[in-house]
């Protein structure tokens, strides 16, 4: 079972994915702070309004999350390629709702950056509010999982020792395509990979996370309350373009995919923009 937030004839809906169709849920216009596991489970399925996936525009799984947390340096191989010491506390930084893109939307290269990089990531979607959540209780707060590409402007990221200016660009981070409930995903066996123009450039198993998902939820909820719809991007494996020799950055016409076994696959076209930021 999986869910998607989508737009059809100008209206937003949440649908249950059934083969190559979406069956909308009554009273759920988008995954949001109002979306708990119970609400998803108990909503009426409007089979009479079933639509083909090919006929809708998929939106970010949660279009307007109140909080987006990102984790840096959470795979051993990525820590090694950055020549940093193994962290003892998660490296955290924010994004904003305006940073998000739909799972099929084009990634537009900002004219200000010449070092646009990819970062495939598993995303945790919170489904139950909580503060100071114990690791042992963390699983009960997860609504499900999805996929993201934490597109990063490296030349801006490294202007300072804080990363936000390279990470929180508007309309830069595809998220989706689906929300998959926790009991549908085996995180101990699932793989994650990023594919650029047909070549696998990142690949790892989710069991290789340095800080587990329960640990991340416990850490974040220590200093801020988590709410339904909040997103946690759990970090990227080794193989990012900035750390390759020679370096690899996204260019006009590239096709970039991120896939997580049992969760889903993003696929985006990279496009250049004009100096004023418009489409070329």
- The rounded distance, in Å, linking the Cα atoms of 68 and 273 is 26
User: pLDDT value at position 78?
Assistant: 77
User: pLDDT value at position 190?
Assistant: 95
**pLDDT single digits (tens) 20-49:** 999 999 999 999 999 999 999 999 999 999
Residue 271, strand partner residues = 108
The answer to whether 156 and 113 have CB atoms below 8 angstroms apart is: yes
pLDDT above 60: residue 280: no
Residue 13, strand partner residues = 6
> Quick check: helix, strand or coil at residue 179?
strand
User: pLDDT value at position 84?
Assistant: 77
pLDDT above 60: residue 92: yes
The answer to whether 151 and 171 have CB atoms below 8 angstroms apart is: no
**pLDDT single digits (tens) 166-220:** 999 999 999 999 999 999 999 888 999 999 999 999 999 998 999 999 999 999 9
User: pLDDT value at position 276?
Assistant: 66
**39-64: average pLDDT:** 96
Q: Give the domain 68-271 fold.
A: Fumarylacetoacetate hydrolase; domain 2 (3.90.850)
User: pLDDT value at position 273?
Assistant: 85
For residue 77, what pLDDT band results from cuts at 50, 70 and 90? Answer: confident
Where along the chain do the CATH 3.90.850.10 domains lie? 68-271
User: pLDDT value at position 87?
Assistant: 84
Q: How many CB atoms lie within 10 A of CB 189?
A: 11
Angstrom CA distances, 175 to 45, 61, 148, 166, 215, stand at 24, 6, 4, 18, 22
Indicate yes or no: pTM above 0.85: yes
User: pLDDT value at position 188?
Assistant: 85
User: pLDDT value at position 275?
Assistant: 67
């Amino acid at each position: 079972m999986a869910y998607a937030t989508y737009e059809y004839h100008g209206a937003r809906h949440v649908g249950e994915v059934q083969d190559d169709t979406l069956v909308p849920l009554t009273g759920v216009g988008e995954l949001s702070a109002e979306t708990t596991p119970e609400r998803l489970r108990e909503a009426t399925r409007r089979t009479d309004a079933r639509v083909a996936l090919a006929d809708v525009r998929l939106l970010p799984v949660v279009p307007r999350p109140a909080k987006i947390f990102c984790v840096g340096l959470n795979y051993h191989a990525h820590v090694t390629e950055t020549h940093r010491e193994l962290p003892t506390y998660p490296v955290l930084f924010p994004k904003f709702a305006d940073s998000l893109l739909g799972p099929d939307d084009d990634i537009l290269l900002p004219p200000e950056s010449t070092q646009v990089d990819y970062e495939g990531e598993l995303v945790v979607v919170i489904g139950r509010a909580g503060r100071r959540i114990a690791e042992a209780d963390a699983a009960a707060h997860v609504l499900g999982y999805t996929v993201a590409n934490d597109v990063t402007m490296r030349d801006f990221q490294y202007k300072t020792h804080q990363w936000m200016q390279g990470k929180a660009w508007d309309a830069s981070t595809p998220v989706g395509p689906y929300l998959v409930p926790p009991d549908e995903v085996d995180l101990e066996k699932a793989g994650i990979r990023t594919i650029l123009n047909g070549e696998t450039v990142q690949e790892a198993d989710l069991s290789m996370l340095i800080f587990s998902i329960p640990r991340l939820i416990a850490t974040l909820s220590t200093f801020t309350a988590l709410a339904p719809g909040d997103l946690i991007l759990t970090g990227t494996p080794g193989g990012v373009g900035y750390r390759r020799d020679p370096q690899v950055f996204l260019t006009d016409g590239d096709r970039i995919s991120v896939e997580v076994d049992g969760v889903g696959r993003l696929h985006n076209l990279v496009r250049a923009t004009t100096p004023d930021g418009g489409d070329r």
